A and B are shown apart, each in its own frame.
Chain A
Amino acid sequence: MFRKIGYLLLSMFVVFKHLFKRPVTLEYPEKKITPPENFRGKPVVENCKGCGVCLRVCPSGAIKIDRENNCFKIDLKKCIFCGNCTFYCPHGAIKMSKGYELALSDRENLILNYPIGGADERN
């Protein structure tokens, strides 16, 4: 009996201890988290040579290379942000930025277009 009361008091103490601590949550739209350095957010492409390695490692088929218009397309609706393309790109052209707010009002805007600049040396 006394043991049970003792445990209840102990657990009450634990709960009260937490009353005087700062909140661990963040009021999201007003305050925002800065993601860490390696965060895998919205992909950004610069100086793509169009070699096509990313096509072969992408699990979801989100990447398309349009040779006619010299255009590199990433479909954010399909992208699972795994970071395979970033890791295996031989030119370091694809980087994943810290952008994490990806909601848009038009789904066409979710397909990112980047120009392919410079010829691939291996072709």
Chain B
Amino acid sequence: MSKLKLNLGPQHPSTHGVLRLILELEGEKIISCEPDIGYLHRGMEKMAEKLSYIQYLPLVDRIDYLAGFFYSELLCRTVEKALGVELSKRVKAIRVMLLELNRIASHLLWIGAFLMDLGAVSPFFYAFRERELILKYFEKITGQRMMNNYFVFGGVRRDIFSLEDVENIINILPDKVKDYEALITENPIFVRRTKGKGVLDKETAFNFGITGVNLRASGVNLDFRVKDYLYEGIDFNPVVIDGADSWSRYKARVLEIKESINIIKQALKVLESEKELEQKLVNPLNLTLPEGEYIQEIEAPRGLASIYIKSTGEKSPYRLKWRTGSYYSVNLLRKILKGAYLNDAIAISGSLDIILPEVDK
């Protein structure tokens, strides 16, 4: 049979940004896949070398526009740890609450977009409706819906308010998640298109550096929140599912939304007991990090995110490097799409939750 080269993307509507997959087909079977990235490259790492830390902070939200809080938290955390700034309990609880809300928003969008890839339209609107509640709350406290820029070195910009909105969200969400599950989880078409497709076994996952939900859906209990200093005193069980296929990655994300609600409830309790906002903001104007190398990590919605800064004691870092989860998931497509059918290509790549701004940086 003759081979056919097919370009999937970069302008394909279900590639979540601009990803080009160069597929080699034999009939309808994919025999090789070559991801071509870089269409969304903005030079995030190079930009840091010219800007001061405070100038770089607002740009960090744009690395992953669906989960901006995680990246500003990383940069803030690096500076705080380097300068030895301690966070008060209330600031920690505020950060945990916002991070988890952000994670829910990100997963909700993923559910909508993934089902849209498979051809189901209604879950997209339902998921976006609930995501809107969270974004409205973000807008209320931070001023913008996605580019929040709310965390600053040493704390947060302003004290948090209208916690009843958060309570409203976490009261509504479980019912809505039940609705999604009624619509999606055992839908025969959905099950046929995802069960047993895109199987990612443990060994491959480790070899390709996969982290986050994708890894936990393959039965590996690895959640970086467990050792995170922000999550101290918070009780939660990392979602671990055996199954390793697209369906279990979907299921893991749904369960993770529920787990995040659980974490938010505990953070709200801390916020109720700690009423005073105590924080020592770092003066950003002459901020320099002491000479040395710094590395910090956090569990972002799309896997482990980490930052590496090499400082020579100047106003801007000598070198700054981001590690993002999606970058590794894109690389995985080489392996996981081999042998799959063309109509499953979108379903499998969608299930890995790839966000291209995060890949290209």
Contact = CB atoms under 8 A, between A and B. Distances in A.
Contact of B284 (A7, A80, A88): A88
Contacts of A57: 54-55, 284-285
A11 B187 contact: yes
Interface of B: 51-52, 54-59, 122, 126, 129, 132, 139-144, 147, 149, 152, 157-158, 179, 182-184, 186-188, 284-285
B52 A35 contact: no
A36 B147 contact: no
B147 A81 contact: yes
23 contacts: A7-B188, A8-B187, A15-B122, A15-B183, A18-B122, A18-B126, A24-B132, A35-B139, A36-B140, A36-B143, A38-B158, A39-B143, A39-B144, A40-B144, A57-B285, A58-B55, A59-B56, A83-B143, A83-B149, A84-B55, A84-B58, A88-B54, A88-B284
Interface of B is mostly: helix
A43 to B, nearest CB: 12
A82 B126 CA distance: 30
A75 B294 CA distance: 35
A13 B122 CA distance: 13
Interface of A: 3-4, 7-8, 10-11, 13-15, 18, 24, 35-40, 53, 56-59, 80-84, 87-88, 96
Contacts of A14: 179, 182-183
Contacts of B59: 59, 80
A122 B263 CA distance: 47
Given A7-B186, A36-B139, A56 B51 contact: no
Contacts of A37: 140
B139 A39 contact: yes
Given A4-B186, A58-B55, 18 more contacts: A3-B186, A7-B188, A8-B187, A11-B183, A36-B143, A38-B140, A39-B139, A39-B144, A57-B54, A57-B285, A80-B58, A80-B147, A81-B144, A84-B54, A84-B58, A84-B149, A87-B157, A88-B284
